[in-house]
């Protein structure tokens, strides 16, 4: 981000438009798990990544030493499969949520995650129209594809999508005509 006050104000306005569009479901923000799941990433959690592996290793070594070597080896193989098919997707989902919450929280977080290359913006009505970080210019994408939403339009959209108490009741049906 540059140091000029006018550009910072423009970036904040573009970022606000980006977040508005995301909340109005006009764009999707996608997270690249492989680019953000490393120790230099601000959304990386070491215990999520190392903890399950340590538990699998400790359990299999304990079984190897105190029960039987073959059983401990089998537990390790099954533990690795469990890690690959259950724990890793769980980690990916948690990292995705953390990254998305951080990115939509403020402009500073957005810029950090964008520079790391972990984000992709795509128009929901045209999936092929996307902007990939860090090489893509998210400012140009927002300027070109996301016109400013009028405040009244956002309020109407939110009112329309808000669940109502009446929606949970059984719908009223017109009386059937007797012929």
In which domain, by residue range, is 47 found?
Answer: 10-148
Residue 48 contacts residue 94 (beta carbons within 8 Å)? yes
Q: 62 in a domain, yes or no?
A: yes
pLDDT digits (tens, 9 = 90+) for 55-93: 999 999 999 999 999 999 999 999 999 999 999 999 999
Q: 68 in a domain, yes or no?
A: yes
- The reported pLDDT for the residue numbered 179 is 47
CA distance 68 to 48: 29
Q: 3 in a domain, yes or no?
A: no
Average pLDDT, the chain: 82
CA distance 90 to 93: 5
Angle between helices 46-66 and 69-82 (to 10 degrees): 160
Residue 18 DSSP class = H
Q: 27 in a domain, yes or no?
A: yes
CA distance 154 to 19: 12
Nearest to 130 by CA among 121, 138, 142, 143: 121
- The reported pLDDT for the residue numbered 159 is 56
Residue 24 contacts residue 157 (beta carbons within 8 Å)? yes
């Amino acid at each position: 981000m540059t140091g000029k006050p006018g550009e910072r104000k423009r970036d904040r306005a573009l970022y606000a438009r980006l977040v508005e569009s995301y909340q109005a479901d006009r764009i999707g923000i996608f997270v690249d798990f492989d680019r953000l799941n490393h120790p230099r990433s601000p959304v990386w959690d070491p215990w999520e990544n190392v903890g399950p592996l340590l538990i699998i290793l400790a359990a299999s070594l304990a079984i190897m030493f105190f029960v039987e070597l073959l059983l401990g080896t089998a537990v390790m193989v099954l533990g690795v499969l469990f890690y690959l098919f259950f724990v890793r997707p769980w980690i990916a989902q948690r990292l995705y949520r953390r990254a998305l919450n951080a990115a939509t929280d403020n402009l500073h977080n957005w810029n950090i995650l964008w520079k790391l290359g972990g984000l992709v913006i795509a128009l929901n009505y045209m999936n092929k129209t996307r902007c990939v970080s860090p090489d893509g210019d998210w400012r140009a994408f927002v300027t070109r594809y996301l016109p400013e939403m009028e405040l009244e339009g956002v309020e109407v959209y939110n009112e329309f999508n808000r669940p109502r108490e009446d929606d949970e009741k059984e719908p009223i049906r017109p009386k059937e005509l007797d012929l």
